[in-house]
Amino acid sequence: MKNLRAFVLLAILVSSCDDGDVLVTSFNFEDASLQFCEGASSLVFFKINTESNESLSLQINAEDAVFAETDSLQFALDGTTTFLNYRTYNTAPDAGYFCNSIPPTSPTVLQDYFAPDGTATLLVTAVFNDNDNIEEDIESTLDTDMDGLLDYYDFDDDGDNVPTAQEIGGDPNNPIDTDGDGTPNYLDKDDDGDGVPTRNEATKDDPNPQNNITDPAVGADYLNPEIEVETPIEFYIEHSYDFVSSVVLFVNNAVFSNGEEEITQESLDFGNITNFATGTTLITPAFPTM
């Protein structure tokens, strides 16, 4: 996880105390950006107010895989693996303070509030890209080959086991249409129009149609209408697509306590981090049974 960029949406400044005392804490993180670091088995989100020397931090346990898809993730605070800390210091901590396996000796913690109860919510938004050089609408629900991967992140749109990037030719705005039927090869299940689907102009030993060449002078059989040898290939090749995920974090019903005083926060808006996680998803779509 990298490419940290953070923005603060808004901050909540409501502090209350059950015995009515006025707290010297400010609980002000309005101008502090959300940051994070990864510990051995946990993820720590934090905000630092460098003016008032205070920090708000949340530790959660989450597998990296959960950030590869758009989802709303809820984490119940339990006081052991998932919890919040609100601290004040003699001087402001830096980002390295929060994921140290050995608690740093400085800065000195003046007040330490711990919240073992509440609910943290992470809204993950993942944007997919199949890198197939076709400009595709990520709002579209079109799934040409009905393999469960929408066209905008399906690197083989027509499911013929020849990736789109290798079917469009040199000009994405004028993609190759071998049989001239008006459907470009990357959307045509039978590229040469010989009646044998491209996927089936391959062999069981090598399901890549590009490698099945009877006449080298013409090229692969799936682009040679004179060759009509059919071998049923009833599976798809492994697909890959990249993702870039951003997160929005908020916490509800947190009750902070330092043993003497309590601070209740019904709603804590931590803000967001764009480009929180990037990666590549590999998936072999199930072959549809018809």
Residues engaged in binding Ca ion (CB under 5 A): 143, 145, 147, 149, 154, 156, 158, 160, 162, 177, 179, 181, 183, 188, 192, 194, 221, 224, 227
Give the C-alpha separation, 203 to 229, whole Å: 10
71 φ, ψ (degrees, to nearest 5): -165, 160
Angle at 53 between CA 48 and CA 56, to 5 degrees: 40
Find the helix or strand (DSSP H, E) in which 119 lies.
strand 119-129
> Counting every residue, how long is the chain?
290
Shortest reach from residue 130's CB to Ca ion, in Å: 10
Q: Are strands 71-76 and 119-129 parallel, antiparallel or unpaired?
A: antiparallel
First to last CA, the chain: 41
Shortest reach from residue 125's CB to Ca ion, in Å: 21
Give the C-alpha separation, 288 to 234, whole Å: 9
Query: Which residue's CB is nearer to Ca ion, number 30 or number 177?
Result: 177
Shortest reach from residue 144's CB to Ca ion, in Å: 6
The DSSP symbol for 260 reads S
Query: Which residue's CB is nearer to Ca ion, number 102 or number 217?
Result: 217
Give the C-alpha separation, 69 to 277, whole Å: 10
Nearest to 268 by CA among 120, 73, 124, 54: 120
The amino acid sitting at 28 is N
Query: Which residue's CB is nearer to Ca ion, number 29 or number 243?
Result: 243
| Residue appearing with tokens 């944007």 | 127
Shortest reach from residue 55's CB to Ca ion, in Å: 46
Query: Which residue's CB is nearer to Ca ion, number 83 or number 153?
Result: 153
Query: Which residue's CB is nearer to Ca ion, number 156 or number 269?
Result: 156
Q: Find the radius of gyration of the CA atoms of the chain.
A: 27
Query: Which residue's CB is nearer to Ca ion, number 99 or number 213?
Result: 213
Shortest reach from residue 197's CB to Ca ion, in Å: 10
Residue 170, C-beta contacts closer than 8 angstroms, at least 6 positions apart: none
Shortest reach from residue 244's CB to Ca ion, in Å: 20
Query: Which residue's CB is nearer to Ca ion, number 13 or number 229?
Result: 229
Shortest reach from residue 118's CB to Ca ion, in Å: 41
